[in-house]
Amino acid sequence: MKTNKYTPSPIKGMPNAPEAEQAVIGSLLNFGGDKVFDAISPELNKDMFYDNRYAVLYDAIQSLYASNKPCDIVSVSNEVRSMGKIEEAPPHFIAETLNYGFDSFHAVEHALMVKQKYLQRKAIELSHILQQQAYDDTEDIGDVLFNAGKALEQMQQDLIGQSESQSFKDIAQSALKNIERKMGLYSSGKQTGITTGLQDLNDINSGWHGGELIVLAARPAMGKTAVSLHFGKSAARQGIPVVIFSLEMDSVSLYERFIASESNVHPSKLRSGNISQDELLQIDKAIGGILYSLPITINDNAAIGMSYIRATCRLYHRQNKCGMVIIDYLQLVTESSNGTRNREQEIARMSREAKIIAKELNVPVILLSQLNREVDKRQDKKPILADLRESGAIEQDADMVIFVHRPEYYGISVKDSSGHEIYNYGELIIAKHRNGSVGTVKFKHDGSLTKIFDYDTKGYTENNPF
C-alpha cells in the first residue's frame, strides 16, 4: 500500500507551546549538566519541537551529551556548525535563547508541555490522513485501519516515554534476590520496609515500601499532619531522606512542630515566645542533638502542581535526597486544566501523578487528603472509603488508605477493658491495604498532638499521659 501519497492538509493554528520550547532549551543551556538532560531526555526527542530552530539546538545538545562534552553556548554553536545547520540556528539566536532559561525544577514540566503539543499535532495529522485514506476506494480498509493502529501505538509509546518493560526471565533473578533479602531481614528480627514509628502498624504493613502510595485522610484538625510528621521523622531517624511538600504551613512553623515533638516545650510557647531559660535549653538540645542532622527537606511553596512535585522529587532522588515523600495535602495542590476538567477530574489526575512518583522513584509516597462532611453526620464519626473527598480515583490509586480518627475530638468517651476512660486516644483505620490486611491501629498522643506513641506505651496514666 502506498501511503506516502497521503499528507495532512495545511492546518492553521496547530497546537504548539513556543514558551515551553524556549524554556527547555534555555534551561539546558543555563543549567547545563547531565541531571537536567537526564530528567528531560526520556520525555523528548528533537522531532517533538514545533520550531525547527529549537529542534536543531536540542539535536546538538543531545549529540554533545552522547559524546560526554560540555553543554554551553560555545559548544552548542560549534556543534550546530559542524552539523551544517548554522543558518537554521545562528549564534545570535542561541544567545537569545539563554534569556528563556528558568530553573531545573521546571525543566521536566516544560518538556512535558512540548511533548503534549507534539502528540496533539500528531493526532490531528493522523486523523486527516485517515480521512483521506478512508475516502479512497483504491485502498483496502483493513490496511488503512492496521496502519492507523500502528501509528496510534507509536504515539502511545511516545506518550509513556522510554519503555521499561521486562520479560519474566529478566524479572526472575531480581525477584529471587528480593525474596532472599526479605528472608534475611525476617530471620534477624527486622522488618522489610521503612519503619512507621508505630509498632502495631509495622506489624500490619512491615513498614513503608517503595512504589506504594499511602493516602492518609481525615477531617480538619484531626491530626493528619501530626501523624505524617511522626512517620517522616521515624523514617529520617532510620537514615531515610524525606521530602515534605507543605502547602498549608510554612517551613519554620513546620520545623517548630518538630521542635515541640522532641522537647517538652508546648507549641503555644513557641508561638508566643514565653519561653524560660530551662525550656530554651531543651529546645537547643532537641535541635542540636537530634533534629539538626535529620535528612529531611521541606518545600513550602504554596502554589505548586503535581508536575512540579514530580520534577522536584526526581531531582532530589538523583541527589540521593529522596527516599520518602510526604505531600500535605492533596486538595491544596494546584492543577492547570484551562477549564476543560472539573475538580473531580483534576483530583483524579493528581492522585494518579502521586502514584506515578512512587512507582517511578521506587519510594513510598504519603499523600494527605481531606474527607468530606459526611463523617460528621454519622453518630460514631468513623470515616469510611466513601468519605474520600471529591474523587473515588484516590481510593483506586492508593495502595493503602489510612484514616485518622480521634473520638475524643467529638466528645466521644473511650474506655479500656477495666472501664477506665482513655485520654489522648487515637485510631489509624486502615480501610484499604492492597498488599495486606485491613484493621485499626490504636495510638496515643500528647495534648498538643506533637507526639505520637504506641498504644501500649508504659507509664500511661490519666493524670500523666506521658
Query: Does some domain include residue 461?
Result: no
pLDDT for the residue numbered 3: 45
Cβ(330)–Cβ(367) below 8 Å: yes
Query: Does some domain include residue 89?
Result: yes
pTM, full prediction:
0.63
Q: What is the mean pLDDT of the chain?
A: 81
CATH number for the domain including 448? 3.40.50.300
Please indicate, yes or no, whether residues 206 and 152 belong to a single structural domain of this protein.
Answer: no
Cβ(77)–Cβ(93) below 8 Å: no
Please indicate, yes or no, whether residues 218 and 123 belong to a single structural domain of this protein.
Answer: no
Give the whole-angstrom CA distance, residue 39 versus residue 360.
Answer: 12
Is it the case that residue 2 has pLDDT exceeding 50? Answer: no
Is it the case that residue 105 has pLDDT exceeding 90? Answer: no
Please indicate, yes or no, whether residues 202 and 154 belong to a single structural domain of this protein.
Answer: no
Q: Which of residues 160, 175, 205 is at a domain's end?
A: 160
Give the whole-angstrom CA distance, residue 285 versus residue 184.
Answer: 37
Q: How do beta strands 213-218 and 365-370 pair?
A: parallel
Give the whole-angstrom CA distance, residue 203 versus residue 455.
Answer: 13
Give the whole-angstrom CA distance, residue 459 versus residue 466.
Answer: 6
How is residue 357 written as a grid cell?
512518583
Whether omega for the bond prior to residue 255 falls within 30 degrees of 0, making it cis, is no
Average pLDDT over residues 162-186: 66
Query: Does some domain include residue 206?
Result: yes
Average pLDDT over residues 422-439: 88
DSSP letters for 39-104? HHTTT--GGG-SSHHHHHHHHHHHHHHHTT---SHHHHHHHHHHTT-TTTS-HHHHHHHGGG---H
For the chain, the farthest-separated pair of C-alpha atoms sits apart, in whole angstroms, at 92
Domain count, the chain: 2
Place of cell 512535585: 309
The pLDDT-based confidence of 401 (bands split at 50, 70, 90) is: very high
Please indicate, yes or no, whether residues 30 and 129 belong to a single structural domain of this protein.
Answer: yes
Going 24 to 28 to 34 to 35, the CA torsion angle's sign is: negative
How confident is the model over 33-76, as pLDDT tens digits? Answer: 566 777 777 778 888 999 999 999 999 988 888 777 777 888 88
The pLDDT-based confidence of 1 (bands split at 50, 70, 90) is: very low
Q: How do beta strands 365-370 and 324-328 pair?
A: parallel
Give the whole-angstrom CA distance, residue 140 versus residue 147.
Answer: 11
Helices (H) and strands (E) in the chain, counts: 17, 9
| Domain extent for 109 | 18-160
Please indicate, yes or no, whether residues 113 and 200 belong to a single structural domain of this protein.
Answer: no
Phi then psi for residue 358, to 5 deg, are -60, -45
Q: Which of residues 136, 160, 184 is at a domain's end?
A: 160
Q: Which of residues 113, 132, 160 is at a domain's end?
A: 160
Query: Does some domain include residue 464?
Result: no
Query: Does some domain include residue 108?
Result: yes
Give the whole-angstrom CA distance, residue 255 versus residue 234.
Answer: 15
Query: Does some domain include residue 183?
Result: no
Give the whole-angstrom CA distance, residue 86 versus residue 69.
Answer: 19
Please indicate, yes or no, whether residues 222 and 133 belong to a single structural domain of this protein.
Answer: no
Give the whole-angstrom CA distance, residue 466 versus residue 451.
Answer: 10
Please indicate, yes or no, whether residues 206 and 154 belong to a single structural domain of this protein.
Answer: no
Going 141 to 144 to 150 to 152, the CA torsion angle's sign is: negative
Radius of gyration of the chain (CA): 27
Query: Does some domain include residue 189?
Result: no
Is it the case that residue 8 has pLDDT exceeding 60? Answer: no
Please indicate, yes or no, whether residues 272 and 330 belong to a single structural domain of this protein.
Answer: yes
DSSP H or E stretch at residue 453: strand 452-454
Phi then psi for residue 3, to 5 deg, are -100, -10
Give the whole-angstrom CA distance, residue 90 versus residue 68.
Answer: 23
Q: In what order do the strands lie in the sheet with 425-433?
A: 296-299, 242-246, 324-328, 365-370, 213-218, 400-405, 425-433, 439-445, 452-454
Phi then psi for residue 401, to 5 deg, are -120, 120
The pLDDT-based confidence of 459 (bands split at 50, 70, 90) is: very low
pLDDT for the residue numbered 167: 62
Is it the case that residue 325 has pLDDT exceeding 90? Answer: yes
Runs of H (alpha helix) within 216-305: 224-237, 251-262, 267-272, 277-289
Which has more pLDDT, 340 or 247? Answer: 247
Please indicate, yes or no, whether residues 206 and 66 belong to a single structural domain of this protein.
Answer: no
Give the whole-angstrom CA distance, residue 212 versus residue 194.
Answer: 12
How confident is the model over 107-125, as pLDDT tens digits? Answer: 778 888 898 898 888 888 8
CATH number for the domain including 41? 1.10.860.10
Please indicate, yes or no, whether residues 117 and 208 belong to a single structural domain of this protein.
Answer: no
Please indicate, yes or no, whether residues 336 and 239 belong to a single structural domain of this protein.
Answer: yes
Whether omega for the bond prior to residue 316 falls within 30 degrees of 0, making it cis, is no
Query: Does some domain include residue 115?
Result: yes
How is residue 455 written as a grid cell?
498504644
Please indicate, yes or no, whether residues 156 and 208 belong to a single structural domain of this protein.
Answer: no
How confident is the model over 336-361, as pLDDT tens digits? Answer: 555 556 777 778 888 888 888 898 88
